[in-house]
Structure 1
Amino acid sequence: MRKLLLSLGFMLAIGAINAQEAYKFTDVIDLETTPVISQGATGTCWSFSTSSFLESEIIRLTGNKIDLSEMYTVRNTYPKKAENFVMRQGKAQFSEGGLAHDVINSVKNYGLVPQEAYNGLLENSTFHNHAELVAVLEAMVKTYAENPAGELSKNWSKAVNAVLDVYLGANKTSFTYQGKEYTPASFLKMTKIVPEDYVTITSFTHAPFYSSFILNIPDNWSNGSMYNVTLDEMIHTIDNALENGFTVELDCDVSERTFSSKHGVAVVPADYENNKKALEGIYPELKITQTYRQNEFENFTTTDDHLMHITGTVKDQNGTKYYKVKNSWGTDPNRTTHNGYVYFSEAYMRLKAISVMVHKDALPNNVSKKINL
C-alpha cells in the first residue's frame, strides 16, 4: 500500500512538472498613456495607434493629456490615397490600411485637432463604422481610374472630398479648446510635436543595413522610407526607448493563432502543437534568428496586419520579459484581457514586428550613429 501511494505521489509530481503553468504578470515599465479606445468597425488602426503614440509623446513633452482626433487624420489621408490610386490608373493600393508615417505626414501637412473638435462620427452615432464609406469611395476611385468618359472630370477630387464631408465631417480650420482659439497648425505647435523628429526602424536582409529604403508591403501605399538595422539592434531600440521614457509605435503581424487579444498574449512556442495551450500558460519558445525572420517574411507567413502602441514591459513568474502593447479593439472583457493590452513575448516581437517608430532621441547611440541621425 505504501509503495502504491509513493508511486501515485511520484506520478502526480511528474504531472505537475509537465502541466501548463498559468501566466502571472507583473509590471516592470509602465509609461503614461491615454485610455484604450476602440477603432470600431474600421481598418484605421494606423491612425488610432499612432495617435495614441503621439498622445504619450505630448504627455512626455508637455505633461498634458490630450485626446487627439484619429478621424481628422483619416479625413486628410483619404484624398491622398484617392489621388495615388487614380493617377496610377488603378494600379495601386486603395484600402482602409496605412502606416505610422501616414499619420506623421498628415500632422506635418494639416496639423492636429483634439477629439472634441472633430470626432468623425455620423450624427447620433457613438461607434465608427466605415463599411459604407469605404464601399462608396472604392467605387468612385475605380470609376475614375477606368475613365469611362475618356476624359477625367476636373471635379473628381471635389466629389471624393464631398463624400468624406458627408461621412466624416468637413475639415476643421479653427476651433476652441479649453477656452482658447486654435487652428490645426497652432494646436500642433502647442503640443510640441515636431513631425521631423520621428523615424521608422525595421530589420530585413533584402536591403542594406544602416540605410533607408521603401519596404514593399501593401499598406505602404505612400512609399514611406524606413531605416534598416539588424534584428538585435531593432529590439535594442525598443528596449532603449522604453527604458528612457519613450513609448514606441508598432507595425506587426497579428494573424497568427498564437496572438490572442482575448487571452492578452502573443507568443511563439517552440513546438507548434503547443500553440493553443501557450495562450493560457508558459511553454518554451522558438529562438528567432535574422534568417528565420526573413524567410517567414518572404514566404508571406509574416505580414503587416495591424498597428499598435508599445507602452512598457511586464515579466512573468519566471522573470521572462514581455512587451506591454496597447491595442485599439476596446476593453470588452469578453473579447480582450489586461484592459485591452496584449503582452508580446520577445520571440513574438523579433518575428512579427514589421517596423517600429520612435522619437529620434530614443535611438541607442550606436544605432543613431550607424544611420547618421
Structure 2
Amino acid sequence: MLGMNNISAQDILVNSLKVNASDNSKESFKFTDIINLANTSVKNQGSSGTCWSYSTNSYLESEMIRLGKQPVELSQIFSARNAYVEKGKNYVRMHGSLNLGDGGEPHDVINMYAKYGAMPREAYTGLNYGTSKNKFAEMAALSKAVLEAVVKNPNDELTPNWEKAHAAVIDSYLGAVPETFTFKGKNYTPKSFAKEVVGINPEEYVELSSFTDAPYYTKTMLMVPDNWSFDQVYNVKMDDMTNIIDNALKKGYTVAWCADVSEKSFSWKNGVAYIPAKKYEEMNSQEINSMFVGPKPEMEITPELRQKAFDNYQTTDDHAMHIVGLSKDQTGKEYYIVKNSWGATNDYKGYLYVTKNYVKYKTTAFMVNKGAIPTDIAKKIGV
C-alpha cells in the first residue's frame, strides 16, 4: 500500500481533511455498534508508506487477543525492514523492473513473520536518528540509488557485497536488528519471540479479492504495483467478500483490509466512507457540502462496475487498515468499524465507519484467518 504513484500517508490525510470535511457530521450520524472486537491502541505511521505493516501487525495483535494471549505492541518497522531487504533482492533479480518505495501488502507481514520472526516495538522502534515518528523519504532515496547502481552491473558480474550494502543503508536509518533482546525479563530471538509470545501460525492466513477477469474460487495474481513478491489471492465473488468479513466478525475474527481511499466520499476527518448514489462530478454545491451530514443513499455496486474501476485506475492499491467490528446508523444501514494508522486525529479518535458498498467497490484485497471463512466458500477455494 501507499507505494503507488509516490502517494504518501500524509498526502492522503491532507487531501481527506481539506476536501471531505463537514463540521457537524458526527452529530448527524447515530451509530450503534453490533460487534466491536478487541484491538490495541491506535498508532501513527508518520511519514512512511507502511500502512500495510501497521494494519497487519494490529491485526496480529487482535489475533493474539482472540487466542487468549496478552497482546504485545509488535514492531511494525521490524516487518517493514525485512520486507525492504527482500524487495531489494527481487528488484535486482527483475533488473530494476519492480516497484520500489515503502509500499507493501498484508501478506508481506505474514511472509516476514514466517522467515524472520517478530519483535515487540519496544525492542525495535525503527527510530534510529532522533525522530519521534517515521520519516522514510531520505532512506528510500538512498536505498533506490544503491539498487539502481547494482542493476547497472558496472563490474559485469554482481559482487557478493551488494546485499550487505543495501541492508546497511536501511539499518543506518532504522537501526540494526539485534540478535537477541530482553522482553519482560526473558531473553528472546525474533524467531523465539514469534513462537513463544505471539504464537500465530502463518499457514492459517489467506488473502482474497474479487475480479471478473479470472475464474472464481481459484488463485490469481494480485495485479497491483506493491505486490513485489508476486503473491496470489483467492478470487471470490463480489458478495462473498462481505459475506466472509461478516462471518469473520461474528466468529470473533478481525480482518486486515486493503482499499482505495482516494474517493471524495472517503472522509478521514469525519470518519465515514460510502459510495454516493450520484457521481461527485454531477453533484451541485449543496450536495457536495452535505456529503457527510447524515446517512445518504448509495450507488448499486456490481461486479462489472467494480472491475471497470480497477481496470481504469479509479480503484488503486493505496491504503491498508484493520476491520474490527460492525455498526449500524439510525436508518439500519450497516458499516464496518475500521481502525486506521494515522493517529487519533479524526472525529472517531482513529476509527472510521465504512459501508459495505464501499468495501465491495473499493477493496483491492483482504486477509483473514482460514477459520473465519464460511464453510461453503472454504470448500470452493480448498482451504
Q: TM-score, normalised by structure 1?
A: 0.91
Residue-by-residue CA offset, 1:191-221 (whole Å, 9 max, x unaligned): 2210000001111111110111112111111
- Show structure 2 runs of 5+ residues with no match: 1-24
Q: Which amino acid aligns with 1:279?
A: F
Match of 1:79 in 2: 85
Match of 2:236 in 1: 229
Match of 2:13 in 1: none
Residue 365 of structure 2, aligned match among 346, 355, 360? 355
Aligned residue-pair number: 351
Residue 158 of structure 1, aligned match among 152, 155, 164? 164
Q: CA deviation at 1:63?
A: 3.1
Residue 343 of structure 1, aligned match among 345, 353, 356? 353
Q: Which amino acid aligns with 1:139?
A: A
Residue-by-residue CA offset, 1:244-273 (whole Å, 9 max, x unaligned): 100000010001111111110111110121
Q: Which amino acid aligns with 1:318?
A: T
Distance in 2 (CA, whole Å) between partners of 1:91 and 1:265 is 37
Task: Decide whether the 8 Å contact of 2:129 with 2:173 is kept in 1.
Answer: no
Match of 1:326 in 2: 339
2:238 corresponds to 1:238: no
- Show structure 1 runs of 5+ residues with no match: 1-19
Distance in 2 (CA, whole Å) between partners of 1:253 and 1:243 is 25
Distance in 2 (CA, whole Å) between partners of 1:39 and 1:320 is 31
Q: Which amino acid aligns with 1:43?
A: G
> Percent of aligned positions with the same letter in both sequences?
47
Q: Which amino acid aligns with 1:221?
A: W
Distance in 1 (CA, whole Å) between partners of 2:242 and 2:301 is 12
Distance in 1 (CA, whole Å) between partners of 2:69 and 2:81 is 28
Q: Which amino acid aligns with 1:258?
A: S
Q: CA deviation at 1:275?
A: 5.1
Task: Decide whether the 8 Å contact of 1:62 with 1:192 is kept in 2.
Answer: no
Match of 1:184 in 2: 190
Residue 171 of structure 1, aligned match among 165, 173, 177? 177
Residue 137 of structure 1, aligned match among 133, 143, 151? 143
Task: Decide whether the 8 Å contact of 1:267 with 1:348 is kept in 2.
Answer: yes
For CA contacts below 8 A with separation 6 or more, give which structure has more relative contact order: 2
Indicate the SS of the match to 1:154.
coil
Match of 1:270 in 2: 277
Task: Decide whether the 8 Å contact of 1:257 with 1:275 is kept in 2.
Answer: no
Distance in 1 (CA, whole Å) between partners of 2:208 and 2:179 is 33
Q: TM-score, normalised by structure 2?
A: 0.89
Q: CA deviation at 1:149?
A: 4.0
1:1-373 alignment runs, 5 A limit: 22-190=28-196, 191-272=198-279, 273=283, 274=287, 277-332=290-345, 336-373=346-383
Indicate the SS of the match to 1:339.
coil
Residue-by-residue CA offset, 1:284-304 (whole Å, 9 max, x unaligned): 100111111111111111111
Task: Decide whether the 8 Å contact of 2:59 with 2:256 is kept in 1.
Answer: yes
